[in-house]
Amino acid sequence: MQLRTAILRAPLVRLRFGDRRLDDSNIFVRWVKEGRKYGLGAILVTQQPGAIADQIISQGDNFFALHLLNDADLQTLQRHNAYYTDEILNYLRTEPIIGNCYFWSAPHQPFVLPVRVADFESVCQKPAAIAAASPPKKLPELVAQAIKEALTGNPRVWLYPVSSFNGKKEDGWLAFSADYLHSAVAQVTGADTDELTREIAVVLQRHKARSGYAVLEGVTRRVWAIPQSHLKFKAGKRPRPTPVQIADKL
């Protein structure tokens, strides 16, 4: 069956579906509830999920939630899916990487999963062939400085005390997300290539850093761990209170 779909963006979403008192007498509620029978569908795009009527949200199948700040919007997600724990909502509130989001599918995947949405243009357009450019001569120095700034001062790169490596208790280490560090360094250096990933690894290895996987705020992520003695935090920056366990493999 061919599905005919309407795409509505805010503020039209709020105009049509934002009344919290909507009931079955409303044409849009009936359309959302019965549209499948007629091959109709809708994609709602909004920055305020809390403004959409419960009658509408309850009929949704697939949900993608990106960075949100409003507490009412975050609580709306938790009200409609109890798998949105406080830890996940906290991560969603502070998510710094464009395209990172959380997904669930009402009929097939009720558990909340972290997802990275690829840039549309990078997927649907073939990039023009360009001559390979040599990396900037000062990239290693820029990367080293950017890593230092990210770990000691950037509030979006969270650090966690490490309680153990592969089940063996060890003290004096701090762990952080490899992806979040990469994003912070890329913003400073203007580079976002495989060369940048290698340079980050080189700098961290000079500080005896160790890599692995750990659960950060309820989500398993690839992490680096660095001796705490190698860092001197700037004012306002301090490790998170929750210790994490690092494993070499997932």
If asked whether residues 65 and 110 sit together in one domain, one would say: yes
If asked whether residues 240 and 144 sit together in one domain, one would say: yes
Into how many domains does the chain fold? 2
Residue 114 lies in a domain: yes
Domain coverage including residue 58: 4-120
If asked whether residues 166 and 62 sit together in one domain, one would say: no
This prediction's pTM: 0.55
If asked whether residues 14 and 112 sit together in one domain, one would say: yes
Q: Cite the DSSP H helix spans in the chain.
A: 12-17, 27-34, 54-57, 71-80, 86-94, 120-124, 139-152, 178-189, 194-206
| Burial of 155: CB neighbours in 10 Å, binned 0-12, 13-18, 19+ | exposed
Residue 121 to residue 202: CA distance in whole angstroms: 31
Residue 42 to residue 169: CA distance in whole angstroms: 51
pLDDT tens digit at each of 250 positions of the chain: 444 555 455 454 444 544 555 666 777 777 777 877 777 777 777 778 887 777 777 777 888 888 787 888 888 888 888 888 888 888 888 877 778 888 888 777 788 888 888 777 666 666 565 555 555 558 889 999 999 999 999 988 999 999 999 999 999 999 999 999 999 999 888 887 788 999 999 999 999 999 999 999 888 999 999 999 999 999 989 999 999 999 998 8
Q: Angle CA(87)–CA(91)–CA(96) in degrees, nearest 5?
A: 175
> Is residue 58 within 8 Å of residue 32, measured between CB atoms?
no
